[in-house]
């Protein structure tokens, strides 16, 4: 009887111990699983974003407010193209463009960095004239050689031009670089060379065929240089119009006023004007003239587009 009691007691002790052992293990496992879940749901997302507050950012994506190609304008403004500093469409820092400001067939991704910074205008006429102006800032220069003008009947590439027309040798052409206030005028006919105008180019009208005629805006005669000449000589010098070559055979020039005759012989030419004024700060003009040799403009109606060297739209007009 005593042994039976001892056996029952032993069984009870073992059973109670096993019960508590099993209960503790389960609790430990539950605690460990709960801790794993807590660690996996931390607010620091593995994609670099904030995983808290229901964030749904996907790997490699950006919210629209910061992704390239979205401007900072008001919602529903219809702005296309990348905002300043963006890279959308491969156009770099292209300005925002309203879709209504684009000609048919163009998208915002085809807009130049210089969109509307340069303006193209013109008139068809018999000889056709196209003019390109700009709104560049001070000390800004843009190379426009290689840009193109496209019309419904063809087009023209913007060529090189002589920047500083040198009277002592061959005029060397170089790329046309437009700066603040510069204008490029393209004529449909032909001329000896394309060039940037300067104070003295009017004298070239006497030696070359220019159509239209180069501006007659040569510097005036310095009266202090001729005040010692005879009155008759001074009258003749002052009668010579701007940028005109003087004629030593004119009977109004006194034959015995040798100083006067020497002065006339050494002045009134492109070379003498160039020598006297090439160092002037305003010697070069803001105007560049180019002759295309043909008229790309339709005489009645046309769409004229200015494209940069990459073929992106800079500006356009219709008539």
Q: Which of helix, strand or coil describes residue 74?
A: coil
Question: How confident is the model over 187-212, as pLDDT tens digits?
Answer: 999 999 999 999 999 999 987 789 99
Helix 258-266, helix 231-239: angle, nearest 10: 20
From the CB of residue 308, how many other CB atoms can be counted at a distance below 10 Å?
20
- CA 161 from chain center: how many Å? 19
Q: Report how far residue 311's alpha carbon sits from residue 304's, in angstroms, rounded to the nearest whole number.
A: 14
Which residues are 250's β-sheet partners? none
Q: pLDDT at position 88, please?
A: 32
Whether the Cβ atoms of residue 152 and residue 264 lie closer than 8 Å to each other: no
Q: Which of helix, strand or coil describes residue 192?
A: coil
From the CB of residue 315, how many other CB atoms can be counted at a distance below 10 Å?
20
Whether the Cβ atoms of residue 111 and residue 305 lie closer than 8 Å to each other: no
Which residues are 162's β-sheet partners? 173, 195
User: What's the pTM value of the predicted model, to 2 decimals?
Assistant: 0.69
From the CB of residue 202, how many other CB atoms can be counted at a distance below 10 Å?
22
User: Which residues, 6+ apart, have CB-to-CB distance to 27 below 8 Å?
Assistant: none
Show the low-confidence residues of the chain (pLDDT under 70).
1-95
Q: pLDDT at position 4, please?
A: 53
Pairing type for strands 173-174 and 161-162 reads antiparallel
Whether the Cβ atoms of residue 116 and residue 103 lie closer than 8 Å to each other: no
Q: pLDDT at position 19, please?
A: 53
Residues in the chain: 319
Q: pLDDT at position 104, please?
A: 85
Q: pLDDT at position 15, please?
A: 60
DSSP string of 175-210, one letter each residue: --EEETT-EEEEESS--S--EEEETTGGGGGGTS--
User: Which residues, 6+ apart, have CB-to-CB distance to 192 below 8 Å?
Assistant: 208, 209, 210
Secondary structure percentages of the chain, helix, strand, coil, to 5: 25, 20, 55
Q: Report how far residue 6's alpha carbon sits from residue 10's, in angstroms, rounded to the nearest whole number.
A: 6
Tokens of 248: 């030593």
Backbone angles phi, psi at 30, to 5 degrees: -60, -45
- CA 121 from chain center: how many Å? 17
- Identify the structural domains of the chain with CATH numbers, from first to last: 78-116 (no CATH), 120-199+283-311 (2.60.40), 223-275 (no CATH)
Pairing type for strands 284-291 and 183-187 reads parallel
Tokens of 73: 């304008």
Q: Report how far residue 284's alpha carbon sits from residue 59's, in angstroms, rounded to the nearest whole number.
A: 57
Q: Report how far residue 187's alpha carbon sits from residue 152's, in angstroms, rounded to the nearest whole number.
A: 18
Which residues are 157's β-sheet partners? 148
């Amino acid at each position: 009887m005593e042994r039976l009691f001892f056996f029952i007691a032993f069984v009870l002790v073992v059973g109670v111990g096993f019960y508590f052992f099993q209960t503790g293990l389960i609790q430990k496992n539950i605690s460990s699983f709960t801790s794993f879940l807590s660690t996996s749901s931390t607010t620091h997302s593995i994609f670099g974003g904030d995983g808290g507050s229901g964030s749904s950012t996907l790997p490699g994506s950006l919210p629209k407010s910061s992704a390239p190609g979205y401007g900072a304008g008001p919602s529903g403004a219809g702005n296309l193209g990348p905002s300043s500093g963006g890279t959308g469409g491969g156009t770099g820092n292209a300005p925002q463009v309203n879709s209504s400001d684009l000609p048919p067939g163009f998208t915002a991704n085809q807009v130049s960095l210089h969109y509307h910074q340069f303006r193209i205008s013109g008139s068809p006429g018999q000889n056709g004239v196209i003019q390109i102006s700009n709104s560049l800032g001070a000390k800004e220069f843009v190379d426009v050689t290689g840009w193109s003008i496209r019309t419904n009947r063809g087009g023209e590439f913007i060529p090189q031009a002589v920047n500083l027309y040198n009277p002592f040798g061959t005029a060397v052409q170089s790329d046309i670089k437009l700066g603040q206030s510069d204008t490029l005028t393209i004529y449909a006919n032909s001329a000896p060379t394309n060039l940037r105008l300067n104070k003295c180019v009017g004298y070239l009208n006497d030696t070359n065929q220019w159509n239209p005629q180069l501006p007659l805006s040569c510097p005036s005669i310095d009266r202090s240089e001729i005040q010692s000449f005879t009155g008759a000589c001074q009258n003749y010098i002052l009668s010579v119009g701007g940028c005109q070559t003087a004629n030593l055979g004119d009977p109004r020039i006194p034959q015995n006023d040798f100083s006067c005759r020497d002065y006339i012989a050494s002045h009134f030419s492109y070379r003498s004007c160039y020598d006297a004024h090439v160092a002037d700060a305003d010697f070069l003009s803001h105007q560049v003239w180019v002759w295309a040799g043909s008229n790309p403009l339709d005489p009645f109606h046309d769409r004229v587009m200015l494209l940069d060297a990459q073929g992106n739209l800079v500006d356009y007009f219709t008539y």
